[in-house]
Amino acid sequence: MSLSISPDEMLVAERTEHGAERQADEQTRSASRFTRLSEATFVGGIALTVVLFAVGGWQRRWIADDGLIVLRTVRNLLAGNGPVFNEGERVETNTSTAWTYLVWFFSWLTQARLEYVVLGVALTVSLAAVVFAMLGSARLWGGAGTGLLLPAGVLVYIALPPARDYVTSGLESGLVICWIGLLWWQLMRWSQAKSVRLPGLLGLVFLAGLAPLIRPEMTLVGALALLMIFFAPMPESKLRPIVLRAVIVAVAGLVPLGYQIWRMGYYGLPYPNTAVAKDAGGAKWGQGFTYLWDLVGPYFLWAPLLVLLLAGVLAARTRTGRTADAGSSDARGWSIQRVRKWLRSPGAVVTAVLVSGFLLTLYALRVGGDFMHGRMLLPQLFLLLLPVAVIPIRAPRGGVRAATAADWSFAVIAVAFVGVAGWALFAANTTAIKTGTKITSTGIVDERVYYVLNTGHDHPILAEDYLDYPRIRAMVDDITASPNGGLLLNSPSFMFWYVAPPPQPIPDGGAGHTVYFLNLGMTSMNVPLDVRVIDPMGLAYPLAAHTDRLTDGRIGHDKSLYPDWVIVDAGMVDRKPWMPWYLDEKWVTQARTAMSCPDTQALLISSRDPLTFERFRHNLRNSLRFAKYRIDRVPKYEIQRCGLADPFPQPVAPR
């Protein structure tokens, strides 16, 4: 039996085959066009976000008083005095170690003016942060070819006025979010890689290990990342898994552990002196919630967060459904092996950043937040927005006409994007704190506006700009007018300075000047390095830092050492009329006795004695004890606490 095909049948078959080929070619070309459109949209979104953030940050450019504090340490580093605030006194006044040395490096490299260096570095790392955030989020959603990836979470972040305030400011805020964004991106790459290369893995753990040097509280973020990597399956290597894990621990801990040992021996503390001054372990929950609402309330920040939460959940469900349709058949059920495998997945990375953001928010609430509007919650917000830094809009499979109810989630996500963009326009033009130079009962202030109004400069950047801040120009003039040296104390009315003179005989060249004032940055950057600058709160002054926290003090400023102690510590004349009228000779005498307390002397010697091997070893062994040590700021009570003999004992009442 033979089969024969007629010419007509052959013609139909050929036409059918050619039609299928043309349809396949058309689908391929359509997919290629969509991929190019998707990639162009994503790149355009990055460019737009960076431009908006750069313009917004530049319009609000400034350097905060606390930013100038960093530059004083950099000046001492460049002068060869070491990483100190005052020459001859080893005190770590900067919370971010990495930021200090980053600014120092570029200052040394460029030899440019410090204010311009820190302005440029802060702006650069702030802009890099949003790029890294979007790159990581794009990987989470499958890359640019899987749909339109539109900026969403990053718009929420850059729209907030405090976020744009700290694009510059001279503080480490930009570095913190840049490190978070880079870590997020690298973790997403690691979680999705078909095969992990050892050099890339070690680079990732090294980056995560830098967390405590970025800011101490970032240790939580780095620790979660390292735990996830440590317990996940190891990549193929000639090294055994147990050896490879040991290498990971060594690489992650090399720099932070080495610096920690050096810090404890050099400074005599296990963490920066700022943590002692602000008692970062204390609890002020009520003030913390006030601080949270100060950011969330005025901008209605809860609205875009809820919208993005809904959009993120819908996008995740859509992506999960498509993955399942594509043939994913992971076994269900719980097992250690399954959990370990999950640890190297985008879901685990998302969980880590969200948990980190939540826990760090709780920590900020516990310590009472900060006095700067929004600043201490910006890293937490950045973490929580990372998964939805961009959101995907995917067209229904088979086109709009063939869409099912489940496929219409793309429309909800599109509406969410429009809503977030609208909110961003509103928030970007909102002023949360309208009091200007007045500090309300909350203690929270718009720091940039406060200094703009108090200096009269729209962009206070240079140290000289702060000479127009009340009392600073007068301070410089009084130092010039007192060549013999002395202690500058601000008057109780904060209108002028008293200069307590040094005792006779005056050495050649004078006895040197000490300035005792709260605003360390503007003060220290407008005087030479041989002028000692200390503060009643204790950021640069261990004696004040180790006093007890005031119960109802302004948040971030709730320590205040009486100047009577400083008269003694600076070695100035402690008798009237040379001593300022508002000081009490009795208190000064009691302060002299109180300072003779052996534990207090040991604390001061730890940072003031020349650094020898024996001093380093002693500091290393006693740094935890020094960190916990506290004194009473009232000399009479400190004498009682230490068990000393009061030079003015209370008379015993007759029985």
What is the structure's pLDDT at 111?
94
Q: What are the pLDDT digits (tens) for 357-398?
A: 999 999 999 989 998 999 999 999 999 999 999 999 876 655
What contacts 124, CB < 8 A, 6 or more positions away? Answer: 174
- Nearest to 463, CA basis, from 54, 65, 16, 9: 65
615 — alpha (psi -120 to 50), left (phi > 0) or beta? alpha
- Nearest to 367, CA basis, from 454, 436, 280, 298: 280
403: confidence class by pLDDT, cuts 50, 70, 90: low
Q: Give yes or no for a contact between 218 and 176, defined as CB atoms under 8 angstroms apart.
A: yes
Tokens of 560: 């205040």
Tokens of 272: 């920066």
What is the structure's pLDDT at 107?
97
Q: What are the pLDDT digits (tens) for 471-518?
A: 999 999 999 999 999 999 988 776 789 999 999 999 998 999 999 999
Look at 574 and 196; give whichever has higher pLDDT. 574
- Provide mean pLDDT across the span 546-571: 90
Bridge partners (DSSP) of residue 445 are 372
329: confidence class by pLDDT, cuts 50, 70, 90: very low
333: confidence class by pLDDT, cuts 50, 70, 90: low
Q: What are the pLDDT digits (tens) for 440-455?
A: 888 899 999 999 999 9
Instruction: In whole angstroms, give the CA distance from residue 129 to residue 158.
Output: 11
Indicate the residue type of 112: A
Going from N- to C-terminal start, the domains of the chain cover 33-62+95-322+337-395+407-429, 470-642
- Provide mean pLDDT across the span 565-576: 94
pLDDT exceeds 70 at position 100: yes
Instruction: In whole angstroms, give the CA distance from residue 110 to residue 117.
Output: 8
Q: Residue 89, SS3?
A: strand
Q: What are the pLDDT digits (tens) for 173-202?
A: 999 999 999 999 999 999 998 888 888 999
The rounded mean pLDDT for the chain is 89
Chain centroid to CA 483: 41
Instruction: In whole angstroms, give the CA distance from residue 304 to residue 297.
Output: 12
Instruction: In whole angstroms, give the CA distance from residue 484 to residue 507.
Output: 8
Chain centroid to CA 394: 35
Q: What are the pLDDT digits (tens) for 128-187?
A: 999 999 999 999 998 766 678 999 999 999 999 999 999 999 999 999 999 999 999 999
- Nearest to 380, CA basis, from 400, 396, 360, 397: 360
Q: Give yes or no for a contact between 584 and 229, defined as CB atoms under 8 angstroms apart.
A: no
What contacts 380, CB < 8 A, 6 or more positions away? Answer: 357, 358, 360, 361, 364
Whole-number percent of the chain with pLDDT over 70: 89
In degrees and rounded to multiples of 5, residue 267 shows phi and psi of: -95, -20
Cβ neighbours around 358 below 10 Å, total: 13
Instruction: In whole angstroms, give the CA distance from residue 340 to residue 353.
Output: 18
Bridge partners (DSSP) of residue 3 are none
What contacts 405, CB < 8 A, 6 or more positions away? Answer: none
In degrees and rounded to multiples of 5, residue 465 shows phi and psi of: -60, -30
- Provide mean pLDDT across the span 115-130: 97
Q: Give yes or no for a contact between 182 and 132, defined as CB atoms under 8 angstroms apart.
A: yes
Tokens of 14: 């050929």
Q: Give yes or no for a contact between 557 and 628, defined as CB atoms under 8 angstroms apart.
A: no
- Nearest to 237, CA basis, from 199, 278, 264: 199
Instruction: In whole angstroms, give the CA distance from residue 325 to residue 529.
Output: 68
Half-sphere exposure of 71 (CA within 13 A, CB side): 32
- Nearest to 89, CA basis, from 646, 654, 604: 604
What is the structure's pLDDT at 433?
78
pTM: 0.91
Residue reference for tokens 């004992």: 649
pLDDT exceeds 70 at position 10: no
Element (H, E) at 392: strand 390-393
Whole-number percent of the chain with pLDDT over 90: 71
Q: What are the pLDDT digits (tens) for 273-327?
A: 999 998 877 788 999 999 999 999 999 999 999 999 999 988 888 766 555 444 4
410: confidence class by pLDDT, cuts 50, 70, 90: confident
DSSP output for 190-202: HHH-SS--HHHHH
pLDDT exceeds 50 at position 254: yes
Instruction: In whole angstroms, give the CA distance from residue 175 to residue 207.
Output: 13
What is the structure's pLDDT at 35?
73
What is the structure's pLDDT at 326?
45
Q: Give yes or no for a contact between 208 and 183, defined as CB atoms under 8 angstroms apart.
A: yes
32: confidence class by pLDDT, cuts 50, 70, 90: low
- Which DSSP category does 623 fall into? H
- Nearest to 135, CA basis, from 126, 144, 127: 144
- Which DSSP category does 67 fall into? H
- Provide mean pLDDT across the span 627-651: 92
Tokens of 634: 């009232």
Say what the alpha-carbon torsion angle 158, 163, 167, 171 is, to the nearest 10 degrees: -160
| Residues in the chain, overall count | 655
In degrees and rounded to multiples of 5, residue 515 shows phi and psi of: -110, 130
pLDDT exceeds 70 at position 400: no
User: Strands 148-151 and 532-534, how do they pair?
Assistant: unpaired
- Which DSSP category does 557 fall into? -
Q: What are the pLDDT digits (tens) for 421-446?
A: 999 999 998 887 777 777 888 889 99
Q: Give yes or no for a contact between 179 and 221, defined as CB atoms under 8 angstroms apart.
A: no
